[in-house]
Structure 1
Amino acid sequence: MTDLNFFQSNIGKWKTLRTLYQSDGPTFYLDKSDIDIQFDNNTDYLIKNNSIYQKSQINLSKLQSKNLINISKRANPSKQIKYQMLYKFNNDRHISLEYNYGNLTILEKIWLVNSNLRLSISMIQKHNQCIFISFSSDIKIT
């Protein structure tokens, strides 16, 4: 599976349940969300620039550097956030990601179990210290 095929297989609407565990205490958070992942209609541009467009908010022998842009069609362009992301495909349906958001570093592994189920585990670091561990499951609804 190519990187483009992997990302295309994630297109659609997903229901997500995410659990965040704080590493220095007994605190945990539970979050439910809806995610709508879409590609821009200009596929040639996407292939050329290896960009992904994700409609809602929410790595390592050979690293590839790609850009991930988080946008909403109704969002104010000044609120668009551009991320620098490193990713590596470990096998057909497993990808490892590393990206930064401010002074946070997020390391994530995503498994596309089948076309309707995606699982991920993430570690959120601040100044090279683990502050949260996250587990999520996503069920595709369309």
Structure 2
Amino acid sequence: MGDEYECQYTSDQIRKKHKCWHDGRLKLRDDGKVVLYADDGSKLSVKREIAKWLDPRRFNQEFQFCSRFVVMITSQDEKPSLALPMKPFKTPRTLPTNAAARPVQPARPARRNRVVQQERAPPRKLRTRIRHVQAEPIRI
């Protein structure tokens, strides 16, 4: 199981003669359900028991999928992709134009240099002056 089919689908235009078609995929799951995916990988709908439409003789015929979509299967994928569609989370770095003129240095040194800290002098005793201030009550 796990077959994939390339298809075209349209939504909200079931009764129109000139429909606007979008590319998509139909995937047959192990439990017998068929899932309709958009071209960007988002799941649109799930339906049971449409194995009769997965016959290659019925390709390029329109059929209604879940009362919201009209689907036309175009071909079957021989090798379904197992990898998830991924987008890079960082843009790749580009080298400066004069990169050939100077040697490339690593971003970090291979070995850390030990930082020698100077010993601190013992803290001096500061004279603390305590002032004794008499507080008088406020008279009203």
Q: Normalising by the residue count of structure 1, what TM-score does the alignment of the two structures yield?
A: 0.31
Instruction: Please say which structure displays the higher CA radius of gyration.
Output: 2
Which of the pair is proportionally richer in strand?
1
Which of the pair is proportionally richer in helix?
1
Q: Normalising by the residue count of structure 2, what TM-score does the alignment of the two structures yield?
A: 0.31
